[in-house]
């Protein structure tokens, strides 16, 4: 009986809760895309996710510039920083705005398949996600890591673990994100500080009428 209990306990506690981590994803433009110039601009782009408790900062870095999404774990408020050369925007969003901006990802369901591969040292299982419009996408996720707050990756928030490779839309482009490294070292609190000047500040409603981002 003691042996059975020990095995059961290992199963329950084998998953690590991600309270602090830095996750780097490499971004690859899908080859069937018909916008080679846009693909060239995003060649070598990366997405770096900083997690600290319920707060997160996602930075998409490319030759175009940097776009950061900062989620305040205490209030749920979201700030998007768009830094593309001379164009610098700070977009403030309430939790309701954030949910609205991701409404196409609400209710995503996953079908898990018996297919596995190793990504960045973690065992990952294949799943197929289905959106409300019946479109599908493929994701590989690990059950070994579980973020305490998944709002930073709305598309995959219903997964029982961390998405390590997934398909998504980036503007009009179809791209694949693949985790290349995960650091479990402490993340400085300063990563979640907002700039006090240098950006044109807009509300979510105002930002809908402004171009200049992906």
Give the per-residue pLDDT at 173: 79
- Entry pTM: 0.85
> What string of DSSP letters covers the chain?
-HHHHHHHHHHHHTSEEESEEEEEEEEEE-TT-S-HHHHHHTTT-EEEEEEETTEEEEEEEETTEEEEEEE-TTT--EEEEEEETTEEEEEEE-HHHHHHHTGGGTT-EEEEEEEEEEETTEEEEEEEEE-TTS-EEEEEEESSEEES--GGGGGGTTSSSEEEEEEEEETTEEEEEEEEEEE-SPPPGGGGPPPSSSSEEEEHHHHTT--S--
Torsion angle defined by CA atoms of residues 37, 62, 183 and 105, in that order, rounded to the nearest 10 degrees: -70
Name every residue whose Cβ is closer than 8 Å to that of residue 23 and which is 6 or more positions away in sequence: 48, 49, 51, 162, 179, 181, 182, 183
Give the per-residue pLDDT at 171: 72
Fold classified for 20-205: outer membrane lipoprotein receptor (LolB), chain A (2.50.20)
Give the per-residue pLDDT at 44: 81
* Strand pairing class (87-93; 46-52): unpaired
Structure-block tokens of residue 193? 């500080």
pLDDT digits (tens, 9 = 90+) for 118-145: 999 999 999 999 999 999 999 999 999 9
Residues of the chain with pLDDT under 50: 1-13, 211-214
Q: What is the largest CA-CA distance in the chain?
A: 67
């Amino acid at each position: 009986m003691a042996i059975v209990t020990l095995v059961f306990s290992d199963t329950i506690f084998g998953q690590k809760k991600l309270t602090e981590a830095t996750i780097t994803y490499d971004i690859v433009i899908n080859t069937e895309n018909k916008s080679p110039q846009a693909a060239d601009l995003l060649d070598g782009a990366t997405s770096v996710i900083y997690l600290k408790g319920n707060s997160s900062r996602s930075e998409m870095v490319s030759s175009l510039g940097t776009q950061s999404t900062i989620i305040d774990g205490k209030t749920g408020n979201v700030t998007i920083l768009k830094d593309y050369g001379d164009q610098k925007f700070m977009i403030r969003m309430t939790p309701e705005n954030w949910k609205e901006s991701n409404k196409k990802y609400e209710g995503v369901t996953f079908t898990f398949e018996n297919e596995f591969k190793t990504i960045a040292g973690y065992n990952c299982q294949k799943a197929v996600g289905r959106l409300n419009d019946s479109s599908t996408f493929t994701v590989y996720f690990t059950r070994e890591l579980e973020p305490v707050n998944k709002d930073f990756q709305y598309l995959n928030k219903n997964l029982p673990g961390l998405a390590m490779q997934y398909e998504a839309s980036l503007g009009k482009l179809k791209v694949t994100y693949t985790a290349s490294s995960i650091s479990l070292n402490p993340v400085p609190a300063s990563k979640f500080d907002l700039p006090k000047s240098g950006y044109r500040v807009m509300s979510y409603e105002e930002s809908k009428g402004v171009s200049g981002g992906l």
